[in-house]
Structure 1
Amino acid sequence: MTPELRIALMRARTERRPVVLATDLASGRQLLWPGPDVPEALAEAAREALAADRSATIEQEGARWFLHVHALPLRLFLIGAVHIAQGLAPFAETLGFQTIVIDPRPSLATPERFPGITLMPDWPDEALDRASLDGRSAVVALTHDPKLDDPALDRALRSDAFYIGALGSRRSHTARLERLAEFGHGPESLSRIKGPVGLPLAAVTAAEIALSIAAEIVAVRRGSSLSWARR
């Protein structure tokens, strides 16, 4: 890899831009997409590899290329250091998510309750403003407290987050949507919120609810029709 290409890759990581490194397996020639020197056919293949989030070997005009996807990290922001978050956070890490628990209550957001998990002891709206949510971010509100959940959901709805969920019954979710409408969100925007959160697994315990949430996040990310099977 040339020094120029290495610098370009580092810059893309710093600026949180997804890229694909294409390597000609015969000659060792390397191209970075997006980039001005990438032929259109190769660029299309790189777009498809990035959309699938999967590196691949392809053939283009008699040449074999390895497309190395450098995607943005998957991130899961959990609003509330509650029991469900204790089960969901480590499980999400095994699914490849960088998990961040946001809660300004110091008695709950502790390393002892969330070993190895990133904690942000901030008000959720401020934390999410700094996080710069993107299309590989998921946000789940778990506190049942409108002072914490609503500002977080407002920020998530104004972002490209691919998944937004909120814990609560149908009745509490209806009231939540009415409050968020006062933030200026219309029906189309509000429909992005999965509520009640999680796939309908008849979950009861905190661990079961965490599983249903993780399952729905995966379903939405992978485009499964199960993601729309609401209660």
Structure 2
Amino acid sequence: MTATHDAIPECALDWHRRGLRAALATVVETWGSAPRQAGSQLAISGAGEIMGSVSGGCVEGAVVTEALEALQDGQPRLLTFGVSDETAFAVGLACGGTIRVLVEPVGEGPAALSPVLLSDLVAARSARRAVALEVRPEGWSRRLLSPGEDAAADARFRSDRSGMEEDGRFLAIHNPPLRLIVVGAVHIAQPLLTMARLCGYDPTLIDPREAFGSSARFPGETILSDWPDEALAALAPDARTAVVTLTHDPKLDDPAIRAALASPCFYLGCLGSKKTHARRLERLEAAGFTADQIARIHAPVGLDIGAKSPAEIAVSILAQVTQVLRLGG
């Protein structure tokens, strides 16, 4: 599932199919303190509707104007915005940075973004398949690249960063959405799932206790009532998955922890005091887990920010997940 604010290609394709016409604007390069990173997108309809962002509001108006013109002439364009570049457009970035934005009309013209290619991109995103959209401004050729097809794209898949290559092509990386698997439908899980979705995660809650994992307590959430190890086996955590256990009940947490340690998930955090965690480590060691495997566990879970309430603890957990994702460790 793709969060609405991230479903920009999907929005553009829907507008095109409904006959409203559509263009896609994509940040391809940034310098200085630009507000959005390369790969950030804005969809523009023929009526001037927008979804997404390329600058947090600084230059969207000018991009929409250019996009509407692109829909008229069928020609993509590379735009530069910034306050420090004398050759840039008059519209500046309030933060002082500089960005280049690629604007592509969706259509059948020789230079336009093909609806078929856009549909293939949307299908890959829906199937959680990593894919890169390669755009060559010289000639406006485009193609989709899967992992293993191109060394430069593979490096960008690993770093999760879109950008321009030295050979002049732009690689827009579309990795599968990040996932957060939470074991334990406790109070902390309620704000944690909401915050995680806002940060672009696709969250899943696991708790076999029906009184805890109810839709009344977690409206709209994906809730699995299977035993944690069975649920994790079905979910198959990958390198874009974080796992958090919150019950500090060995009967529930331990099966989930063992399953997570056997997976390539990028983060595993466990609620519980230092004393609780020490006993947890003894059980894992007795079960045959190595010191290196056990060292992957972040416990007590979350950054030490003095959090007290369930919402504050959720902030500390998501902050630590972000730290590990972006900085490693």
TM (norm. structure 2) is 0.60
Asked whether the equivalents of residues 144 and 167 of structure 1 are also in contact (C-alpha less than 8 Å), the reply is: yes
**Residue 45 of structure 1: how far off its partner (Å):** 2.9
Note the 1:75-114 alignment, pairs <5 A. Answer: 75-114=179-218
Q: For 1:68 and 1:156, locate their aligned partners in 2 and report how far apart those are by CA, in whole Å.
A: 30
Note the 1:186-197 alignment, pairs <5 A. Answer: 186-197=290-301
Q: 1:93 to 1:159 in 2, by over 3 A?
A: same
**Corresponding residue of 1:22:** 134
SS in 2 for 1:83: coil
**Residue 116 of structure 1: how far off its partner (Å):** 2.2
Q: 1:86 to 1:25 in 2, by over 3 A?
A: same
Note the 1:138-149 alignment, pairs <5 A. Answer: 138-149=242-253
Q: For 2:152 and 2:238, locate their aligned partners in 1 and report how far apart those are by CA, in whole Å.
A: 23
Letter in 2 for 1:110: S
Q: For 2:201 and 2:186, locate their aligned partners in 1 and report how far apart those are by CA, in whole Å.
A: 19
Higher relative contact order (CA 8 A, sep 6+): 1
Bigger fraction of residues in helix: 1
Q: 1:107 to 1:54 in 2, by over 3 A?
A: same
Letter in 2 for 1:57: M
Q: For 2:204 and 2:135, locate their aligned partners in 1 and report how far apart those are by CA, in whole Å.
A: 34
Quote the sequence identity (%).
Answer: 43
Asked whether the equivalents of residues 5 and 32 of structure 1 are also in contact (C-alpha less than 8 Å), the reply is: no
Deviates more, 1:201-210 or 1:3-12: 3-12
**Corresponding residue of 2:157:** 50
**Corresponding residue of 1:218:** 322
**Corresponding residue of 1:130:** 234
Letter in 1 for 2:140: G
TM (norm. structure 1) is 0.84
Structure 1 unaligned spans of 5+: none
Aligned length: 216
Asked whether the equivalents of residues 124 and 130 of structure 2 are also in contact (C-alpha less than 8 Å), the reply is: no
> Which has the greater radius of gyration?
2
Structure 2 unaligned spans of 5+: 1-113
What's the C-alpha RMSD, in Å, of the aligned pairs? 2.4
